[in-house]
A and B are shown apart, each in its own frame.
Chain A
Amino acid sequence: MIELSHVSKRYPGGPGDYVALRALSFAVEAGEMVFVTGHSGAGKSTLLKLLTRIEHPTSGELVVNNKNLGRLPRWRVPYFRRELGVVFQDNKLLHDRTVYDNVALPLVVAGMSPGEIAKRVHAALDLVGLLDKEKLHPIVLSGGEQQRIGIARAVVHRPALLLADEPTGNLDAELSTHIFDLFASFNRHGTTVLIATHDRAQIERLRMRTLTLKAGELIGDSAT
């Protein structure tokens, strides 16, 4: 599902380039749930940006869902992103739209019919327990509920791969547990899940494969 081979990412600037990732190599098989952990600046978010084709690697090869991202033409990028579900730390919700409209967005851009959209949005909202809030605007909901809207939006189009960048960064322990349990349940239903987090408590609780990054290098893989 995911394969990195000697992937590096450098950002130019200052006296020398800033190296965010150094020769990273690992693979995630379909159906796995993997945590990527490390301190701030370890390279977790950069890795997620490479996986979603927001950034390009400076060197190395990166294959996601059988697509070599280095060779993916620009016009194919939107179609590639439709195969992913992404949960962001800051939710990235549209506050002038209702919960329903936010969750429906990936289906609308994919050109799905309104009837099918309604069916899938209701199913996704039901999964995250927000079916009764579909007509509200995200701004009136709590941080945990907003994060769950983000999760519903990430899974509404039933992606094969779900990526999450610090999905519980701003939430308390109880809400974090609820959110991580949601990810685990998606994984049990066959979705490959990769979560960048520094929440040690959740990592230890769920006991899934964990990749540890430090200063852009892979220093640990619990599977090996």
Chain B
Amino acid sequence: MKTWFLRHLQVMLGSLGQLARTPLASGLTLVVIGVTLALPASLYVAIDNLQRLGAGLERGGQISLYLKPGLNDAAAQRLAGEIRSLPQVVHVRYISRAAALAEFKQHSGFGATLEALDNNPLPAVLVVRPEPSADATEVEALRDRLARLRGVDLAQLDLAWVQRLHAFLNLAERTVWLLAGLLAAAVLLITGNTIRLAILNRQTEIEIIQLVGGTPAFIRRPFLYSGLFQGLLGGLTAWVLVELGLLFLAGPVRQLADLYGSHFALIGLGPEAGLALVAAGGALGWLGSRLAVGWHLARLVPR
């Protein structure tokens, strides 16, 4: 058993040494595998971030009740109290016409224009935050119920675009898996081809090993380690590429988020998904070389 481990260790180190002895060819293969794996990984990260953004928006989903112009503050406060007592509602904020005008002046940049108006054109608003666990159908039902209340002019729920975003993200997620499947096949072909060339280079050695009693497992072993290492290092390259891409985009995304008053920041693969990417690279590299070695060894007979 000790000898068996020692042999594996020797072959493993030999395979790493082989990669190191051909830095240009190995480097190019690793970059190609890295870029191939980085493409679906980047899309996965993009969709993950958009989903996070969408989930945040949905959680913050609120119903704006625009009150009828004739409703005074006291009546509006009573209405707010009535709505607060509903079990589906967690919070109600009353924004009076004056407060709405002040807020609009501050954020819209139309302060001077509004000063010129004789009357305040803005209605009073009740901002209703539904129970966070409520789904879209329940929130829509609540909106319809609130819209029928006396004093409410218009009830507005801005969930439609969030739902569209989710539908788009679901589609994009499927596309990523499809793309990942195709690119995984590409990684298999890349490793398979590299191993095929290595087998052709070592054809004489393989024939001699077959003649002195080397089993197919013994012959396969160095190629499998080569494929495994190429895949693992390719996966690691992909991880680095994704993180570099995020680093490149982090600044502009933060600026954009600031403009919307959000604290949203891009999140990378993280250790779990990153290690999964490296492991997937290793598995694909191993499988690619296993297929290539199996195919070529079956056709290689000593002369």
Contact = CB atoms under 8 A, between A and B. Distances in A.
Nearest to A106: B212
B156 to A, nearest CB: 74
A224 interface: no
Interface stretch (B38-46, B202-210, B250-258): B202-210
A54 B302 contact: yes
Nearest to B209: A109
A66 interface: no
Interface residues of A, number: 23
B3 A110 contact: no
Nearest to B2: A113
Interface stretch (B29-37, B49-57, B213-221): B213-221
Contact of B4 (A86, A88, A93, A111): A111
Interface in B119-173: none
B211 interface: yes
B213 A78 contact: yes
A22 interface: no
B215 A109 contact: yes
B102 interface: no
Of B3, B212, B216, B218, the most chain A CB neighbours within 10 A belong to: B212
B208 A94 contact: yes
B208 A114 contact: no
A94 B205 contact: yes
Nearest to B303: A54
20 contacts: A52-B211, A54-B211, A54-B302, A78-B214, A78-B216, A79-B213, A81-B211, A81-B213, A86-B211, A92-B208, A92-B211, A105-B208, A105-B209, A105-B212, A106-B213, A108-B7, A109-B209, A111-B4, A111-B7, A153-B212
Interface of A: 52, 54, 75, 78-82, 86, 88, 92-94, 105-106, 108-114, 153
Interface of B: 2-4, 6-7, 204-205, 207-216, 218, 301-303
